Amino acid sequence: MSQIINLVADIGGTNIRLGTFEHGAAVTALKVYQCGNYQSLSEVIRTYIDEENLAEKTINACLAIACPVENDLISMTNLPWTFSQKALKEELSLNKLLLINDYTAIAHAVPYLNKEQKVQIGGGEVVDGKPISICGPGTGLGVANVVPLAEGQWQALGGEGGHVDFAPIDQTEIKILEYLLNQYQHVSYEQLLSGLGLEQIYQALNHIEQAEQPILSAQDISEKALSNTCQLCEKTLAQFCKILGSFAGNLSLTLASFGGVYIAGGIVPRFIDYLKQSEFRSRFESKGRITFNQTIPTFVITESQPGILGASAYLRQHNLQNKG
């Protein structure tokens, strides 16, 4: 058999990141491609294979992708790409092809993050070998959990936790919910903990306070809040952090996540220092009669390529489980 190469990818709506690794080595030859420049996923991967001279090698591939992967036919949410997993494997002459959801990849990355790849918010200590929960405000609100298996291996538990009912815990949040219920039949946490969510909290507070401020984008809201140039924006970001703390605390209770609760996604890493000073951690810990979550640590993931890291961890584990 020719040399075995492990190929991993993190596929989003805008970019696709591809890299390779051998055995226990780190991912190398990492390249980023603009999805809009290609007609299909196979075209991008074929380009990478040709550029890295991999065509004559035995390729095992694990692709992390931001859409459901349970069926053979894959239709990407934010791209006009539809493909069959079986056909993709054959077209690219892959020895092995694994497709996993992007948050499954992040879940598999978390147990391997070092201190430089995460920032702790507040107190608590990790208990080794215990469940871990992840949530990620971004375009939406991704949620995943990962639980330990035997011999240092992990099992990711997927789901759609971002779509659970938003539960207000004070009068301001009750008013925010009432405002959003005038627009939606169902208000989930995703409608508050996302880019759109930041905008909707701003719009709700604007209405509640009759502030008559102009409509702003999520980026403008966060920038003005952090620069202290807009009081309503600062209130919005503060409220966002409170709600995030409540939601993360709910996750910690659901699975007794003594391995920690991790914040992923593209929004929160932009204001880690602000999050530290916010009510995020106090909301995380404030769960009435239940107090064990006060010992559970919370982290923000700062690793720039968690999808690649997770896809490589998943593929290594799969290779180990199927060795021989």
Three state DSSP letters for 193-243:
CCHHHHHHHHHHHHHHCCCCCCCCCHHHHHHHHHCCCCHHHHHHHHHHHHH
- Tell me the residue range of the domain where 252 lies: 114-302
Residue 266 in domain: yes
79 with 193, same domain: the answer is no
Which stretches of 153-194 are DSSP H helices? 171-181
CATH code of the domain in which 165 resides = 3.40.367.20
User: Beta strand pairing status for 141-148 and 154-157?
Assistant: antiparallel
128 with 262, same domain: the answer is yes
pLDDT at 139: 84
Q: How confident is the model at residue 206 (pLDDT cuts 50, 70, 90)?
A: very high
Q: How many C-beta atoms lie closer than 10 Å to residue 20's C-beta?
A: 22
pLDDT at 22: 83
Show the beta-strand stretches assigned E in the chain. 4-11, 15-21, 28-34, 58-65, 73-75, 82-84, 96-101, 118-121, 132-137, 141-148, 154-157, 261-263, 298-301
Let me know: does 243 contact 113? Beta carbons within 8 Å. no
Residue 109 in domain: no
292 with 184, same domain: the answer is yes
- Is the confidence at residue 240, as pLDDT, over 70? yes
pTM score of the predicted model: 0.90
Q: What's the total number of domains in the chain?
A: 2
The stretch 164-187 carries a mean pLDDT of 97
Residue 249, marked binder = no
| Amino acid type, 123 | G
User: Beta strand pairing status for 96-101 and 141-148?
Assistant: unpaired
pLDDT at 171: 97
pLDDT at 47: 97
- Is the confidence at residue 201, as pLDDT, over 80? yes
290 with 311, same domain: the answer is no
Angle, alpha carbons 173-174-176 (nearest 5°): 60
- Is the confidence at residue 10, as pLDDT, over 60? yes
CATH code of the domain in which 11 resides = 3.30.420.40
Residue 242 in domain: yes
Sign of CA dihedral 254, 260, 265, 266: positive
295 with 193, same domain: the answer is yes
289 with 140, same domain: the answer is yes
Residue 165, marked binder = no
pLDDT tens string 50-98: 999 999 999 999 999 988 898 999 998 778 899 999 999 999 999 999 9
- Is the confidence at residue 238, as pLDDT, over 90? yes
Residue 170 in domain: yes
- CA dihedral angle for residue 128, residue 146, residue 316, residue 125, rounded to 10 degrees: -30
> Tokens 């890291």 label which residue?
309
Residue 108 in domain: no
18 with 119, same domain: the answer is no
- Is the confidence at residue 113, as pLDDT, over 70? yes
Residue 129 in domain: yes
Residue 106 in domain: no
* DSSP state for residue 188 in the 8-state scheme: B
The stretch 249-271 carries a mean pLDDT of 96
Residue 107 in domain: no
- Is the confidence at residue 174, as pLDDT, over 90? yes
pLDDT tens string 122-146: 999 999 999 999 999 988 898 999 9
pLDDT at 79: 83
Distance CA 19, CA 308 (A): 8
User: Which residues are CB-contacts of 246 (< 8 A; sequence separation ≥ 6)?
Assistant: 167, 169, 283, 284, 286
133 with 58, same domain: the answer is no
132 with 228, same domain: the answer is yes
| Amino acid type, 225 | A
Residue 9, marked binder = yes
- Is the confidence at residue 16, as pLDDT, over 90? yes
Q: How confident is the model at residue 244 (pLDDT cuts 50, 70, 90)?
A: very high
- Is the confidence at residue 324, as pLDDT, over 60? no
Residue 10, marked binder = yes
SS3 121: strand
> Tokens 């430089």 label which residue?
116
32 with 149, same domain: the answer is no
86 with 123, same domain: the answer is no
279 with 142, same domain: the answer is yes
pLDDT at 188: 97
